[in-house]
Structures are given as C-alpha cells and as structure tokens.
Structure 1
C-alpha cells in the first residue's frame, strides 16, 4: 500500500481507538459524530483488509494486526505533530493553556505554592490540573498527551521519557519541637532511631519506598505505631504526638514552620532521593511545554541540569 492511498485522518481515528477503546469516546475527543468514526473504521477495514477492532462487552478490542500497527502509527503521528508544532509560538502573558501535572502529595505540598505564585506573576491565564503519579495509566496518559509533565522520584518513568534532574535530597527524621529527641544538632544514631515510635508513610508509585528497603538491608527495625498512605496529614499527626517520621528533607522544610516541627539528620546511611521532571518525546519541542519546564527548572533546579533523552 502507498501512503497516498490512505487518508491521514483515518490513522488519527485508529490511534484514538487503540487508546480509548470506545467509539463514543473517540468521537467526543476528536469532535466527530459517532457515525463519522464508524465510517472511518469501515474505510480502514476495507483498506487494510482486517477487522482491526472487535466489539466486546468492555469496548472495542484490537485484533493482533491492529496491535502490530498501534505503536508505529502512534510514533508517526507524534513525530508529525511535533514537526508541525516546532514553530508554534507561546506567550505566557496571554496564554490560557491548561497544563496537567502528575505528582505525589509531597510534590503538591512542595511545588504548587511556588508554581502558583509564579503563574500569578508571569502567566495569569495559565492554569494547572494535578493528577496522582500512582495512577497505573500514567505512562499511557503521558504518551497520549493527557498528562504534560511528571514531577518527583519516579522510577517507573525512567525508561522512554525525557527527564531533567532538579535536585537531590536526603531523608531526615521529623518530629515535634518538644519531642525528647528534638534537642541538639547531632544526628540521631541507630539506637535512638530504633527506640523511637514511628509513623510510616507508604507512598505508592514513587521512589520513597527505598527507605523501607534500606532499613531492611541495614537490619534496622522501626517501632511503627501508625501507617498512612500519604503525607497529607503528617504535619498535624507529628505536631500532636511523639511519633517520628522519616521524610524527604525539602518536605521537612515545608512542614516545620506551620506545625512547629524539628528535623534531625540521621547517622543511618539511607539513599538520597533524586527529584526530576519527566515528559514524553512528543512534547519535547512544544513551545509552551518548553516554557513550563524552564519555569520549573528556574524555581526548583539547583543547577542547569542536563536533559536525559529516552
């Protein structure tokens, strides 16, 4: 088959059907009627001599041939979109673009106050939408353009994405100012750490699980009295109890003042956490996205970090 034999719009419909699996969703996302999408699918079936998608109770399931075509077609469309957007201009002062960011609750606490203040001054019409990084579909959402940028320590996105390291941070022990271990500047040793009562944060889908792995390797067992799935209420919990939390250093800086907390360094050799911004290749040359990444690097990067390509 020659490229001139096929309408590019049919490939756009094909790509969306692979991602969404339902004619109604594809029609809505592309601004078409459902009959128009069905007609495009019929034309593709005739051209390619394959059913491509089979109707099932859960949606349109791609055939083996459609699965074989899916990634090459997606890459070709992204490359074409990127080429067309190379010269697109972006003026933050007048733009009303909405960017979708994926981050943890720690990221929301650390990044959002600064970012929103910067937007108010530099890009008052630009808005942000946040989604959790723990979403199982994050990779697919970034590839499909539904998520613009991911921020954090995200090992599940290390392969196949552009990334720029922003900063490295150690883990510290965080506690209320009146805690028996809060006095002094010396790091807490292993004995003090073992004897303390701890709150453990399980932050799914992030690199913060490395703390538990490191403690296990060191043979250090914590007396865990509370386990929570996120960091949102940590300041209030620590401020009213004698519990200790092992947290990233920059989160400790954000929580210390409002909740009268104290951060103490540790003698335990815990791994540092590298916080990065990550994005998909199809947005690499997008002018608005380049501006957003520059804004993030300007306010949170410790140096002009190099960009690692996929």
Structure 2
C-alpha cells in the first residue's frame, strides 16, 4: 500500500478511536456526525483489509492488527505535527545569533546607540550587523535572507515587504552655538539668505525636502552639498552654515557638536519612518522578537504592520 492511498484524516480518526474507544466521543471531538465517523471507519477498514474495531462493552474494542498499528501511527502523527509546528524555544538571553539591519546613515546615529544598549541587557548573545541602504540592493538582500529588517525612510522597499510605521519625522534647522541667527527671529527671509549645507542622500526619501521647496519656489543660498548626513555635525560646528535635517538626528548632534536647534520658518511635510521586513521572515521568531524591541524603543503610537503594496492589515 502506498501512502497516497490513505487519507491523513482517517489516521487521525483511527488514533482518536484507539484512545477514546467510543464513536460518539470521537464524533464530537472531530466535529463530525456519528454516521460520518462510521463511514470514515468503513473506508479505512477497506483500505487496510481489517475490521480494526469491533463492538464491545460500552464502545469499541481494537483488533490485534489495530493494536499493532497503534504505536507506529501515533509516532508518525506526532513527528508530522512537530515538523509542522516547530518549537524553537527562542530565548533572547540564551540565543547566539548575528542579525543584520539595513538603515540609512541617519538611522545609525538615531537608532543604533539605544538598540545596542538594549540588546546588551536582554540579549547578550545577539550581535548586530548593519548595511547602508545606499551600498547594497536592500530589496534583494532582504528577499534573499541576508538582511533581517530595515529601518528608515526607504521608498524603494515596496511589494513583498511588511511595514510598521514608527513615527513621523519632522524637520528642523540646525546651526552652531553662537551663530548670528541664534539671538534673532528665524524668519523665512533670514533662513533663505543664510548659507546652507544640503544633504543629498541617495536611496532615501529625504530628498522630498528639496522637491517641496522647488515646487513652492522657495530658493536657498546653497553653499555646500554632501552625499550623507554623517559629516553634518563637524561641518556646522566650524562654519556659519545652517542645515535642514530630521529632528531626531538634530537631537543626537546638539550636545556632541555644540549646536542649536530652531523650528523652521515654514512647515515641511513630515517624513514617515518605517520598520520593514520581508515576507520570508514574517513568522521567524528571532525576527519577530527583534521587531518587537525596535517597536518598543522607537514607535510613537501603536499601529498595525501591513504588507506594502496592499491594504491588508496584519
């Protein structure tokens, strides 16, 4: 007899009858009618060529063939159940694992210090590896399982990814302490006329600031353009340039570089910062745990994860 000749549900029914010895009880457990159980048992009898169960006091009694079959069937079903429902026992205090996060240079400044500090407390065996969104094809790396999750304003991650909004990032004006603008109102005219340091960060959505300004005809006196945010603090500390940067980045740069933060003289659209992960790791216990840590540390309000390119909530 081939395995394809036997319905798995019939073996489940056989196992239940071996344990309960009553057709009515098995019917209730399996949400079947008693005639349905009897018909299924008749089908299994024909397949195996044995009565399997005969009437007895208060129920049914297994035949010698059924008794010989009981243990192997039970073991096989248990093995199959374990394979389909793995229990990895993920324990962050005990696990040893390296997890990779894709992020922008802003993310390295804003997220990594707090995240590394938390992992050292609750998961000392987990090491982090980061990759810059601009240095790899982040979509392919996540689809292939080489990057576990990503954090930031990453519009290139679309279909096949789940996302959870962490917060909406406002933009602020940043300059050195003692700057001529520090003790005067920051008007739109003063902001436009000051020398600007502008960051053109490839692979992120922060270019929306320039697009928004261009669409509204707002011109700036751009004196320096750089490809990333990592040099902003050093440059502003030693010049009279000003920069329009995400607020959480500004808060990280203020103390180390003796900078001042001011509200912008106009309202720029906020940047939605997301936690993103590929569908292939959606159920992975380690990924789920790390996502929970990121959400706990950085999310402003509770929202639901959803798959990009879809309105389906998860």
TM-based fold match above 0.5: yes
SS at match of 1:267: coil
Instruction: Tell me which structure has the larger Cα radius of gyration.
Output: 2
Matches within 5 A, 1:207-286: 207-286=205-284
Query: Over aligned residue pairs, what C-alpha RMSD do you find?
Result: 1.7
Distance, in Å, in 2 between the alignment partners of 1:304 and 1:174 is: 30
SS at match of 2:289: helix
Residue 136 of structure 1 deviates from its aligned partner by 5.1
Distance change (3 Å), C-alpha of 1:139 and 1:85? farther
Gaps of 5+ in 2: 5-82, 309-314
2:291 paired with 1:293: yes
Distance, in Å, in 2 between the alignment partners of 1:92 and 1:85 is: 20
Gaps of 5+ in 1: 5-82
Question: Which residue of structure 1 aligns with residue 163 of structure 2?
Answer: 163
SS at match of 2:91: coil
Residue 88 of structure 1 deviates from its aligned partner by 2.8
Distance change (3 Å), C-alpha of 1:204 and 1:104? same
Question: Which residue of structure 2 aligns with residue 203 of structure 1?
Answer: 201
Distance, in Å, in 1 between the alignment partners of 2:95 and 2:237 is: 42
Distance change (3 Å), C-alpha of 1:206 and 1:85? farther
Residue 195 of structure 1 deviates from its aligned partner by 0.6
Maintained 8 Å contact 2:161/2:277: yes
Distance, in Å, in 1 between the alignment partners of 2:86 and 2:229 is: 39
Question: Which residue of structure 1 aligns with residue 74 of structure 2?
Answer: none
Distance, in Å, in 2 between the alignment partners of 1:232 and 1:267 is: 25
Distance, in Å, in 2 between the alignment partners of 1:267 and 1:86 is: 56
2:90 paired with 1:90: yes
2:110 paired with 1:144: no
* 1:66-100 per-position Cα deviation (integer Å, ceiling 9, x unaligned): xxxxxxxxxxxxxxxxx968643311101111111
2:115 paired with 1:115: yes
Question: Which residue of structure 1 aligns with residue 27 of structure 2?
Answer: none
Maintained 8 Å contact 1:172/1:266: yes
Question: Which residue of structure 1 aligns with residue 7 of structure 2?
Answer: none
Distance, in Å, in 1 between the alignment partners of 2:84 and 2:236 is: 52
TM-score (ref. length: structure 1): 0.70
Question: Which residue of structure 1 aligns with residue 302 of structure 2?
Answer: 304
SS at match of 1:292: helix
Distance, in Å, in 2 between the alignment partners of 1:280 and 1:256 is: 35
* 1:279-309 per-position Cα deviation (integer Å, ceiling 9, x unaligned): 0001011111110000000000112221112
Maintained 8 Å contact 2:115/2:294: yes
Maintained 8 Å contact 1:197/1:225: yes
Distance, in Å, in 1 between the alignment partners of 2:85 and 2:171 is: 41
2:176 paired with 1:176: yes
SS at match of 1:247: strand
Moved >6 Å (runs of 4+): none
Distance, in Å, in 2 between the alignment partners of 1:139 and 1:85 is: 29
